[in-house]
Amino acid sequence: MSIKEKIKTAASIIHSSNYIVVFSGAGMSTESGIPDFRSPGGLWSKYDPGEYAEYSAFLSHPEKFWTMHKELSQTVLEASPNLGHKSLVTLEKEYRKLKAIITQNIDFLHSRAGNSNVLELHGSGQTACCLSCGTEFYYTDIQKQLDEGKEVPKCPKCEGLIKPNVVLFGESLPSNVFQQAIAEISSADLLIIIGSSLTVYPAASLPSMALDTGARIIIINDEATMMDHQADVAIHGKAGVILPLILEELRNIDS
Ligand code: APR
């Protein structure tokens, strides 16, 4: 099937669906300038996740995490939602079909674009907390300490270690969010998987749950994924290009 035919097929599946859930990964945000993790040149080609993004490593060498965070946070703060994010807002607000976004991303771009029910499986870089006294911080409070040249931000109240509310390797996912994600997938009649290599568990276990509920599956990804053969349609391309084309097709069907 040509990419044009796949886009038509995806639009007709969306047209006949009423409870759409999106599962997104870092590929959703690369067109906003935020690198993904496993593509060539991705974050893990520069930083070993075992050293820079693992919980026990964070406790023993927090300066490594903060070095990576310093580079990435500027990119995230300067990033804006791309045409892929905006297409999902249209699917929610105009078509009233998109009921939830389950994202592995910590860049809060789905919320900034305007989607309302965003489940952040891996947390968000927007807030942080002191690991000793539990004081909560907003990311601008931390940015100030980093801008003043502090290598490792510390809690102004108790000098404890501050950690952004993102899930590092070796940490469990927020169980309430995971349970909500399972509930959304079980209600979905269509799951659209966008920009994920589907290689990191337990997050990657969610899309396959849709196979058991009989939901249709659309995959939009820059490369093949291990679920392509189980999808109703798998489209290889950029989310910021493919999603607007699918919406265009949807308008044609509706007109
Ligand atoms: N459009 C569509 N797909 C894209 C785009 C794009 N513009 N850019 C990249 N991709 C694809 C890549 O081909 C890749 O298959 O998105 C996928 C991104 O895969 P990863 O980099 O592995 O990111 P992700 O799946 O989100 O990783 C999951 O792993 O390291 C942890 O916590 C981290 O949340 C992350 C998790």
Average pLDDT per block of 10 residues along the chain, 255 residues long? 97 98 98 96 95 96 94 91 98 98 97 98 95 94 90 95 96 97 98 97 95 96 98 98 98 90
**Residue of 102, 194, 196, 238 best suited for mutating to test ligand 1, as the one with most atoms within 8 Å of CB:** 196
- Tell me, in angstroms, the distance from the centre of ligand 1 to residue 255's CA: 34
Pocket-forming residues, ligand 1, beta carbon under 6 Å: 25-27, 30-31, 36-39, 42, 49, 104, 122, 195-197, 199-200, 220-223, 238-240
Closest ligand 1 atom to residue 222 Cα is 3
pTM, rounded to two decimals: 0.97
Say what the pLDDT of residue 173 is: 96
- CA angle, corner 226, sides to 225 and 229, nearest 5? 95
Q: Strand 123-130 relative to strand 216-221: parallel, antiparallel, unpaired? A: unpaired
Q: Is 146 exposed, middle or buried (0-12, 13-18, 19+ CB in 10 A)?
A: middle
| Overall CATH class of domain 1-33+81-122+172-255 | alpha beta
pLDDT of residue 108: 95
Instruction: Output the pLDDT for position 140.
Output: 87
- Ligand 1 centroid – CA 84 distance (Å): 14
Which atom of ligand 1 is closest in space to residue 196's alpha carbon? Answer: 25
Q: For 106, phi and psi rounded to 5 degrees? A: -110, 10
The domains of the chain are located at: 1-33+81-122+172-255, 35-78+126-166
- Ligand 1 centre to CA of 207 (Å) is 14
Q: Return d(Cα 26, Cα 73) in angstroms, integer.
A: 15
Q: Which residues are tagged catalytic?
A: 122
Architecture of domain 35-78+126-166: 2-Layer Sandwich (3.30)
> What atom in ligand 1 is closest to the CA of residue 105?
34
Angle at 6 between CA 192 and CA 212, to 5 degrees: 40
Q: Whose CA is nearest to atom 17 of ligand 1?
A: 196
55 alpha carbon – ligand 1 mean position (Å): 21
- Give the pLDDT of residue 71: 87
